[in-house]
Amino acid sequence: MNNRDKILIIDDELSPRESMRMVLRDRYNVSTASGGYEGLEFMERNAVDLVVLDIKMPGMDGITALKEIKKKYPDTEVILLTAFASLETAKSAVRFGALDYLTKPFDKDDVLTVVEKGLDKKRNSDRLKVEREKLLFRNRDLEAEVNKARENILMGYEGTIQALIKTIDAKDHYTFDHSEHVSRMSSTIADVLGLSKEAREKIEHAAAIHDIGKIGIDERILKKQGPLTDEEFSDMKQHPEIGTSIVQSVPLLEDAIPVILHHHERYDGNGYPAGLKGAAIPLNARIVIVADAVDAMMRARPYRGSLPMEKVLSELRDNAGTQFDPAIVDIILKDKVSLK
Ligand SMILES: [Fe+2]
């Protein structure tokens, strides 16, 4: 016996309605209604697991009531009740979502079998619903965990970049300040080129640490006032490869490697370390090469003052196609990038 199962009998005739109630009342929680409208009204106020529904009724007939019930309460099972004459109607009603039908006059055992079958189906679908909700909750928890993990990774990424920037600063404040400006200018060039926000962030980070390899260069060379000897210059030329080996062990920073390694290539192929030429130089590196040169020229060094703006622009123009990617120089010459 399961008193929690709620059954509603809808039949306009008192006698079959009452005898059906007698059959079911010992096992289930049974209510009755004398018509379609009344039944639907009852269902608005009470949860019903299964409806036993007479087909032939005045007012709202059983088929219309069936369609309404299935539309509003798709999980509620419906068993149709019919006289033999309308058996065909009962069969076709199954198409509208009725689970089964019983013929009048009904047999007590048949009623119990069919009703129990219907309730079993309802209990199963209720159980599945609960499981599905549990899974949805679990899914939401997992999503939150994934988002948190993603945030932690990003924080780790930002933290690593900041740590590297501070490391550069500790060694050489000039490089630190310079890297920050190169980063900003590279981002603006990337913006004019129409690169995505994500791509812009990558180039900003890469530009900020493009000279990280300088922490492996002797301070006397780094801070030397005046031109470097051949030997010193060949030491200095190691910094792209030193920088690459520093960030290589950090998978999050691998996007910065093309910039760190190739920011001293020249467009004509005469740069270092790989001697890459033209479009073979990664785009981010071609951008940083121009930004790097502009900032270096505009900055006063211990051995010379800063170059005036006209001189910076004429240097860019003169070296477009040899040292620099002409398309990127063009962006600066057309004043799409503020040099301040
Ligand atoms: Fe450099």
46/48 Cα distance (integer angstroms): 6
The residues, ordered by sequence, that sit 6+ positions from 47 with a Cβ below 8 Å of its Cβ are 6
Q: How far is the CA of 136 from the centre of ligand 1 (A)?
A: 52
Q: How far is the CA of 293 from the centre of ligand 1 (A)?
A: 10
With a pLDDT cut of 90, the percent of the chain lying above it is 69
82/67 Cα distance (integer angstroms): 16
Strand partners, 53: 10, 80
285/127 Cα distance (integer angstroms): 59
Q: How far is the CA of 11 from the centre of ligand 1 (A)?
A: 90
**Can you identify the CATH homologous superfamily of domain 172-333?**
Hypothetical protein af1432 (1.10.3210.10)
CB of 29 closer than 8 Å to CB of 41: no
CA atoms within 13 A on the CB side of 130: 5
Q: How far is the CA of 211 from the centre of ligand 1 (A)?
A: 5
Domain ranges of the chain: 6-129, 172-333
Q: How far is the CA of 289 from the centre of ligand 1 (A)?
A: 9
CATH placement of domain 6-129: 3.40.50.2300
pLDDT, tens only, 156-203: 888 888 888 888 878 777 666 788 899 999 999 999 999 999 999 999
The whole-model pTM stands at 0.61
pLDDT, tens only, 285-318: 999 999 999 998 988 776 677 888 899 999 999 9
Q: How far is the CA of 295 from the centre of ligand 1 (A)?
A: 12
| DSSP H or E stretch at residue 13 | none
In the prediction, which pLDDT does 83 show? 79
In the prediction, which pLDDT does 302 show? 67
pLDDT, tens only, 207-247: 999 999 998 999 889 888 888 999 999 999 999 999 999 99
Q: How far is the CA of 137 from the centre of ligand 1 (A)?
A: 52
Q: How far is the CA of 47 from the centre of ligand 1 (A)?
A: 75
Strand partners, 324: 320
Q: How far is the CA of 308 from the centre of ligand 1 (A)?
A: 22
